[in-house]
Amino acid sequence: MNHGMSAHFVGLISGTSMDAVDAVLVDLPAQGSPRCIAALSHPIPAELHTRLKKLADPQCHAGLDELGEADVLTGELFATAALAVIREGGLEPGQVQAIGSHGQTVRHRPQANPPFTLQIGNPQRIAHRTGITTVADFRQRDMAAGGQGAPLVPAFHRAVFWTQEEDRVVVNIGGIANITHLPASGPVTGFDTGPGNTLMDLWIRRHRDRPFDEAGQWARQGQVAEALLITLLSEPYLGEAPPKSTGPEWFSAAWLDHALAQHRQTSHADVQRTLLEYTAQSIADAIQRHANASAQVLICGGGARNAYLMERLTQLMPQRRVSDTGAFGVEPDWVEAMAFAWLARETLFGRPGNIKEVTGASEDVILGGVFPGGGPGSGKWQVASG
């Protein structure tokens, strides 16, 4: 394998919000920054979306048939998204070295005995449909090494956003929010801070039948319910020391309803405003506790598109510069999908993709499984020695 060439990779992920499959076509030069050639959000069909939401509900105990069917259907959907983004970028599948597929998380239980995580989206289907070698199931090896299997994006954040000129914190606000602390010198650290968009999305779906609160407009109409906010901020997870990771299995509808049971008089708009404040304060508090006082904050993920959330984060951290990652050459919507394209390359080169200080693993390990493609010229990617 030629380590010196620029190469094209596809990254695929459907996050905890399950709103779409994010697909990117990335140019990954051996030296220099990754370049996003094409990107798209491929919709998830309504029936499959319903199935996935059911599987991911911690109250649901679906059967093996349901899980198996959803795994295949999600794999086919991911393959379709990969082919679509390759077309969008003006390339043929044979010009793509590999696909990195995170899959769809339906359960993440780092505190279970034994700990486990489950992502579906059958990579064999992706490899066969596209003819492209596919790297998938990234989280399992980190867990085998004693880690939490998440977050995995900090290694990519380090590769793209680290500088010896200043300390930085990268905040990824998807369904769950996570931070990566990139000190100018010293080890990289990171963890899931708690809810990102998941509770806000849940609430507006329930009461306004919309998938998310566009720019935080509904939250702007409400007032912070201080007593409710205090209840939310008392969640023990927020005070736990890292390494730690969480998911919508914990910050779920049942979790929110339990908190709201103590505050029944709160209006719907005030709940939405309070949930936005909860996300903003839990992120800002985590940064304050774990990052150097001068660290600049770079925000990515869907939360970067919530103008009101960005305002509150900026107001809560007046001593810091806060911007989205677009100011650093990577559009905030595509950072996570690009991370899995990059992680696929690291796996194929035989390089570790986790950071043990972040996940709590005993060592840095090569992540994922490799599924050779079926098309002409496929299968040429072998794990390199060293």
Each residue of 113-165: pLDDT tens digit? Answer: 999 999 999 999 999 999 999 999 999 999 999 999 999 999 999 999 999 99
- Where do the structural domains in the chain lie, given as residue ranges? 7-145+348-371, 154-333
- CATH number attached to the domain at 7-145+348-371: 3.30.420.40
Q: What is the pLDDT of residues 253-265, one digit of tens each?
A: 999 999 999 999 9
Three-state SS at 182: strand
Q: What is the pLDDT of residue 2?
A: 46
3.30.420.40, 3.40.50.11810, 3.30.750.24, 3.40.50.300: CATH of 154-333: 3.30.420.40
Other C-beta atoms lying within 10 Å of the C-beta of residue 43: 13
Q: Do domains 7-145+348-371 and 154-333 have the same CATH topology?
A: yes
In whole angstroms, what is the distance from residue 240 CA to residue 242 CA? 6
pLDDT of residue 18: 85
What are the start-end ranges of the H helices in the chain?
Answer: 46-56, 64-88, 123-130, 139-144, 154-161, 198-208, 217-220, 226-233, 236-239, 253-260, 268-290, 307-316, 335-348, 356-359
- Look at the pTM and tell me if it is higher than 0.75: yes
Q: Choose among 284, 340, 328, 337: nearest CA to 310.
A: 284
C-alpha of 40 from chain center: 16
Closest Cα partner for 222 from 207, 211, 233? 207
Percent helix / strand / coil, the chain, rounded to 5: 40, 20, 40
- Ranges of residues in the chain whose predicted pLDDT is under 50: 1-3, 376-386
- Position 375 scores a pLDDT of 55
